[in-house]
């Protein structure tokens, strides 16, 4: 009985979030975004959009501190950086910009996740073939970019998903 109530409460929260995030006429106030920190690599620095004024820095998360500089969102393949491999993905209009990503197998990597939905919370979680969570990044409102540190994954296919919006899904291939 308790699990049914928890499931009903969770579904209600998701339904309310989905309805309020796409209901015409609602106005969303952008959440504060992290102020960019100068990077050692000037070409890697990304300024916040002109419509978002810099504000106080967001508190760092325990599992994934905000990125000091966000790599541009490129193709679905990983890119190399001084700290290892970085996989880029972003969210806009309650959808990921890519449905397929790739990462190296058997080595840790990073996901540079750009939440471009003002005031809408998103994250990236990774699930194995059985649906078990193998990684879950912090949920945060946009507009902001965070870099998640992902532990090594065995070769294979995984699902990546936003835990707030389960309709936001894609496939991550570790190879």
Q: Are 102 and 150 in contact (CB under 8 A)?
A: no
In a domain, 124, yes or no: yes
Query: Which tokens is 19 given?
Result: 């309805």
In a domain, 88, yes or no: yes
In a domain, 50, yes or no: no
In a domain, 128, yes or no: yes
Indicate the helix (H) or strand (E) that contains 14.
helix 2-22
In a domain, 122, yes or no: yes
Query: Which tokens is 69 given?
Result: 């500089």
Instruction: Report the percentage of the chain scoring pLDDT > 90.
Output: 52
pLDDT 10s digits, 86-143: 999 999 999 999 999 999 999 999 999 999 999 999 999 999 999 999 999 999 999 9
Q: Are 161 and 136 in contact (CB under 8 A)?
A: no
Confidence (pLDDT) at 34: 43
User: For residue 19, is it left (φ>0), alpha (ψ between -120 and 50) or beta?
Assistant: alpha
What is the residue range of 148's domain? 84-175
In a domain, 73, yes or no: no
Query: Which tokens is 7 given?
Result: 């499931």
For residues 73-96, average pLDDT: 73
pTM of the model: 0.56
User: How many domains does the chain divide into?
Assistant: 1
Q: Are 78 and 86 in contact (CB under 8 A)?
A: yes
In a domain, 74, yes or no: no
Confidence (pLDDT) at 84: 85
CA 115, distance to chain mean position in Å, is: 6
pLDDT-based confidence at 20, cuts 50/70/90?
very low
In a domain, 32, yes or no: no
CA distance 88 to 72: 7
pLDDT 10s digits, 52-70: 433 343 433 434 433 333 3
Is the CA virtual torsion 162, 163, 164, 167 positive or negative?
A: positive
- Residue for token digits 């309709």? 167
Please choose, from the candidates 56, 82, 58, the residue with its C-alpha nearest in 3D space to the C-alpha of residue 138.
Answer: 58
CATH code for position 117: 2.60.40.420
Query: Which tokens is 146 given?
Result: 């965070």
CA distance 134 to 126: 6
């Amino acid at each position: 009985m308790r699990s049914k109530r928890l499931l009903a409460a969770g579904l209600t929260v998701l339904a309310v979030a989905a309805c309020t995030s796409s209901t015409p006429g609602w106005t969303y106030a952008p959440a504060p975004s992290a102020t960019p920190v100068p990077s050692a690599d000037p070409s890697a620095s990304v300024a916040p959009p002109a419509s978002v004024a810099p504000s106080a820095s967001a508190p760092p998360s325990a599992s994934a501190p905000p990125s000091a500089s966000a790599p541009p969102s490129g193709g679905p393949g990983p890119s190399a950086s001084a700290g290892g491999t970085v996989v880029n993905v972003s969210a806009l209009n309650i959808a990921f910009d890519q449905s397929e990503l790739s990462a190296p197998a058997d080595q840790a990597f990073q996901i540079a996740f750009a939440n471009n939905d003002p005031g809408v919370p998103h994250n990236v979680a990774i699930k194995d073939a059985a649906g078990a969570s193998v990684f879950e990044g912090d949920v945060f409102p946009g507009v902001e970019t965070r870099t998640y540190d992902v532990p090594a994954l065995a070769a294979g296919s995984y699902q990546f998903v936003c835990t707030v919006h389960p309709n936001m899904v894609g496939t991550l291939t570790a190879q």
